[in-house]
Amino acid sequence: MNDKEKHLLTNYQCFMQQHEKMAARWLTEEWDGKSIKMPSWLFNRIWEPYPRHILENPSNLAREICLKLLKNHKHEISLQ
């Protein structure tokens, strides 16, 4: 996850659905940025909306959430 993705995940949770908020909080507050193992409590709560390959790597999950934010709310978001 790069700095811009972290900025989006931290500051724009108001535009996210509940499962995205849980993932964003874990990604920004608890994830070490290196491991590819997602905690089982999180996986069990968010596995339905995402394809398996997204959930296999937290970086993919961060990117997916950011892309959705930019797609749906690009006029309301600033990366600065």
pLDDT one-digit tens code per residue, 2-61: 999 999 999 999 999 999 999 999 999 999 999 999 999 999 999 999 999 999 999 999
Burial annotation 1-16 (CB, 10 A radius, 16+ → b, else e): beeebbbbbeebbeeb
- Model pTM score: 0.92
pLDDT value of position 49: 92
- Pick the closest to residue 69 from 27, 16, 22, 30 (CA basis): 16
Report residue 80's pLDDT band, with 50, 70 and 90 as the boundaries.
confident
Query: How big is the CA angle at 70 (ends 64 and 72), to the nearest 5 degrees?
Result: 100
